Amino acid sequence: MKIELIDETGSTNETVKNYLSAREDVALSARRQTGGKGTKGRSFLSEEGGVYLSFLTFYENFPAARAFEVMAHAAVAVCRTAEKYGVSPSLKWANDVLAANRKLCGILVENTVKGDLLDHSIVGIGINAENDVSALGGIAVSLKELSALPVTADGVREKLIEEYQKPTEFADYLRYHRYLGGKVRVIEGDRTYEAVARAILPDGRLEIEEGGRIRALAGAEVRLDPLSL
């Protein structure tokens, strides 16, 4: 894997697309982003001191039906990185990494499918390492706030790249979802309701039970709030 570090860019997910024609696996990181992107078009605060990294990965014979494994693998790599600093992470479906019940990291995946196979993926990861997240009003946290060990963005980046290149299993992903079996608040379109989070299916859908009815969600938002913490 080729590793590149630049000082600043709009979005590492966009910049890493410059490497597509070479069909080479790349890890591109920036010390700062001016246009960081989150899910659902949200902006992602990207001041210096955080880790902003996009992995471009090409595949051979990877069934598109298993594409969610890309997200799961990235989430596990982040959790294992946090654990190296003595921080206990957890996951909130589908792509938020929490620590101390606050957001530590966001993950944004762009998969490209050809036929029934996954051709390549771009996985953007933003970790709060030593950056100041106080402007976010207490919803976010950094590794530096929680760890008794020295935390630097360079060190976190190095550990993340190392963990990303290790194999993971879907079971590794599931074990970080500590709220499964408990109540969550679901926002689905204009409707907000409480349900029991039963399981995460291999295709990435969240199986819930509401009023005795079991179904799987693909695009809703889940809030833990105090319901299962």
Other C-beta atoms closer than 10 Å to the C-beta of 158 total 14
Asked whether the predicted pLDDT for residue 170 surpasses 80, the reply is: yes
pLDDT, position 225: 62
Task: Tell me what the pLDDT averaged over the chain comes to.
Answer: 92
Asked whether the predicted pLDDT for residue 223 surpasses 90, the reply is: no
Residues 6 or more apart whose Cβ sits within 8 Å of residue 167: none
Query: Do β-strands 26-33 and 51-58 pair in parallel, antiparallel, or remain unpaired?
Result: antiparallel
Asked whether the predicted pLDDT for residue 133 surpasses 70, the reply is: yes
Closest CA to 30 of 157, 134, 163: 157
pLDDT, position 229: 41
pLDDT, position 210: 94
- Band (pLDDT 50/70/90 cuts) for residue 220 is confident
Across 182-197, average pLDDT: 92
Secondary structure (3-state) at 170: helix
| pTM (global) more than 0.85 | yes
Question: May I ask the CATH architecture of the domain 183-223?
Answer: Roll (2.30)
Please check whether the two domains, 2-174 and 183-223, share a CATH topology: no
pLDDT in tens, 77-94: 999 999 999 999 999 988
Across 10-21, average pLDDT: 96
Asked whether the predicted pLDDT for residue 177 surpasses 90, the reply is: yes
Asked whether the predicted pLDDT for residue 41 surpasses 60, the reply is: no
Separation CA 135–CA 127 (nearest Å): 16
pLDDT, position 56: 98
pLDDT, position 224: 76
| Residues β-bridged to residue 117 | 63, 114
The domain locations on the chain are 2-174, 183-223
CATH number of 2-174: 3.30.930.10
